[in-house]
Amino acid sequence: MLKKGTQAPEFDLEDQDGRRHTLKSLLAKGPLILYFYPADFTPGCTKEACTFRDLQNDLVRAKLRVVGVSPQDAESHKKFAARHNLNFPLLADPDKKAVKAYDVDGPLGFGVRRGTYLIGVDGKIQDSVLADLRIGAHEEFVQAALAAGAV
């Protein structure tokens, strides 16, 4: 995981609707919760995505946005978002460029670690959590960001 205070790496990735997003464009709308997950449709990733979906009203009130990133393509993300009524962008990173830049590549380059970053409008990492098997840790992380009034 990247350290607190580190400048978050720029990226340019496509979402489930074919729109391109850069870190800069996302931060233009306020602070960002950027989370990385292993795969669409797996039980843990589905639970995590649905938790972010269910927190969306609280996130909007706190002027926070959430964006997910995983190696699946935009079409997989489109199906995943539709099946679970996800109300935030899922970015396709098939080459794992962002995954590697954010230091969440799996052991020996296999898979993706479950990591979440809070990034301020200045592009600096304000906080992060790595909890590969503890899905609840990501919800706790978001709740703490909400309670602190984000950045």
Contact 20/14 with Cβ under 8 angstroms? Answer: yes
Residues 6 or more apart from 142 whose CB is under 8 A from it?
Answer: 33, 51, 52, 55, 59, 66, 116
- In the structure encoding, which two tokens stand for residue 134, read together? 């503890």
Indicate if the alpha-carbon torsion angle 107, 48, 63, 140 is positive or negative: negative
Contact 66/56 with Cβ under 8 angstroms? Answer: yes
Active-site choice (45, 49, 90, 98): 45
**Residue 45 among the catalytic residues:** yes
d(CA 41, CA 94) in angstroms, rounded, equals 16
The residues that are catalytic are 45
